[in-house]
Amino acid sequence: MDLDLDERTLAFRDEARTWLAANVPAQPLKSFDTAEGFAQHRVWESRLADARWSVVSWPREFGGRDASLLEWVLFEEEYYAAGAPLRVNQNGIFMLAPTLFSHGTEEQQRRILPKMARSEEVWAQAWSEPEAGSDIAALRSTATRCDGGWRVSGQKTWSSRATFADRAFGLFRSDPDSVRHKGLTYLMVDLRSEGVTVRPIPQLDGEPGFAEIFFDDVFVPDEDVIGSPGEGWRVAMTTANNERGLSLRSPGRFLAAADRLVSLWHDAGRPAHTADRVADAWIGARAYQLYTLGTVTRLSDGAELGPESSVNKLFWSHLDVALHETALDILGPDAELQGSWSDGWLFSLAGPIYGGTDQIQRSIVAERLLGLPKGAR
């Protein structure tokens, strides 16, 4: 990739920078794990959408700007550098949308994407079950054929933002005789449907950032199946690869955090015992930026995301932990008073778990990239 940006790309970046400087809320919004904060984030995302900044890389007809992936990476850098709010609809925009672009019908794209772009519909991911987290193919929630659609029953858990979300996407066993990765169907479910119960789970900070979702004979119309019935695993891999490999955690997030860390270090009188780790975090964020630009180049040349997404996920999740631990070391006992760094540290600890744990990512790297023998399961 040529790292010298052409005039069109520079103009795009400048336009984004100018708009964000004028529009990012001066006061941070409340956490989107609270009812009030969730509502505030919806309003923010509709403002982003009004100015066509909510989904820049999507086609214009769905609310985007037809921006290239490179432009999207640059927009994300500007977004985080401006201190803009985290995206309440991140599971929809960065995980479900790429899945719909790859596997959805035109009708689904037209019906779902514009509302997602404006966060009129906020999406939750309903994959994990009490006995199926790392081993998602062991899931037991079912979808049974009925007139015009499916009847869904079972339980999902750890579903981020499901407490306040409108809809969820998930995998269900549609062939009762099937095992493991076969016989699964990828469905989109309205969380306000009859038979759905959402039970909030408080996180470490006490806010209901997760929820369990119970489905009791819930009707899901055929139009809300993504891909073919029984082929859900293949569709789910597109979602997982975007979660781990490109869109959920863009370099901008870590570049901005690394820059904040460098400022913190200077303000704290440049404590020598943390200097190497500050430099490592700064270099790590830039290495991730360059690696992502490599991924963008490959995708622009027609490649698809694959198991190398696991390398990516291991890298960003560990970078985030190290960066926040360094900040806490610099702050010392004051860390407790610096809410944003200690909150960020708590959340960073979840990075090696959500989206598939470290151990699972390492097994994928070992087996699918390095060709090592399969471990015992």
Ligand X SMILES: Cc1cc2nc3c(=O)[nH]c(=O)nc-3n(C[C@H](O)[C@H](O)[C@H](O)COP(=O)(O)OP(=O)(O)OC[C@H]3O[C@@H](n4cnc5c(N)ncnc54)[C@H](O)[C@@H]3O)c2cc1C
Residues recognised as catalytic: 243
**CB of 235 within 8 A of CB of 227?**
yes
CA distances from 260 to 57, 207, 329 (A): 27, 26, 14
- Look up residue 243 and give its two tokens: 């979660």
Q: Shortest approach of ligand X to residue 375 CB, angstroms?
A: 7
Tell me the residue length of the chain. 377
Nearer to ligand X, 353 or 365 (CB): 353
CB of 212 to ligand X, least distance (A): 11
Cα-based distances in Å from 66 to 53, 81, 170, 324: 11, 22, 28, 35
Please name the residue ranges forming H helices in 82-118: 90-91, 97-103, 106-117
Question: 303 burial class (0-12, 13-18, 19+ CB within 10 angstroms)?
Answer: exposed
The minimum distance between CB 135 and ligand X, in angstroms, equals 6
State which residue, 128 or 274, has the beta carbon closest to ligand X: 128
By beta-carbon proximity to ligand X, the closer residue of 56 and 124 is: 124
**Residue nearest ligand X (C-beta atom):** 133
Q: Summarize as ranges the residues that interact with ligand X (CB under 6 A).
A: 125-128, 133-135, 158-160, 350, 353-354, 356-357, 359-360, 363, 377
Q: Would you say 54 or 128 has its CB closer to ligand X? A: 128
Tokens of 242: 């975007």
Comparison of 265 and 316: residue with beta carbon closer to ligand X? 316
Helix, strand, or coil (residue 319): helix
Which residue type is seen at 127? W
- Closest distance of CB 132 from ligand X, Å: 7
Gap between the Cα atoms of 41 and 44, Å rounded: 5
**In the complex, least distance from residue 130 CB atom to ligand X, rounded to whole angstroms:** 8
